[in-house]
Amino acid sequence: MSQIDPTPRLPSEPFRVAVAQLAPAFIDRAAGVAQIVDAIDIAASEGAQMIVFPEALLPSYPFWLSDGHGARFDDARGKALFAHYSDQAVTIEDGHLDPIRHALRIAGMSAYVGIIERPRDRSGHSLYCSYVFIDAGGEVRSAHRKLQPTFEERLVWSPGDGAGLVTHRVGPFTVGGLNCWENWMPLSRAALYAQGEDLHIACWPGNRRNTEDLTPVLAKEGRSYVVSVCGVMRRSDVRDDMPFADYLREAVGEMPANGGSCVCAPDGSFLMEPWTAETGVRVVELDPAKVREERQNFDPAGHYSRPDVTRLVVDRTRQSIVDFARQ
The residues annotated as belonging to the active site are 55, 146, 180
d(CA 320, CA 313): 20
Residue pair 211/235 in contact (Cβ under 8 Å)? The answer is no
The 3-state DSSP class for residue 211 equals helix
d(CA 17, CA 196): 19
CA distance 198 to 224: 4
As beta bridge partners, residue 117 has 90, 128
Are the CB atoms for 230 and 21 separated by under 8 Å?
yes
What is d(CA 280, CA 282) in angstroms, rounded to the nearest whole number? Answer: 7
Q: CA 98, 103, 109 angle in degrees (round to 5)?
A: 115
CA 257, CA 263: separation in Å to the nearest integer? 18
Q: What is the DSSP string of 252-273?
A: H-S-SEEEEEEEE-TTS-EEEE
Q: In whole angstroms, what is the distance from residue 95 CA to residue 91 CA? A: 7
Containing H/E element for 283? strand 280-286
Backbone angles phi, psi at 93, to 5 degrees: -70, -10
Say if residues 159 and 127 touch (Cβ distance below 8 Å): no
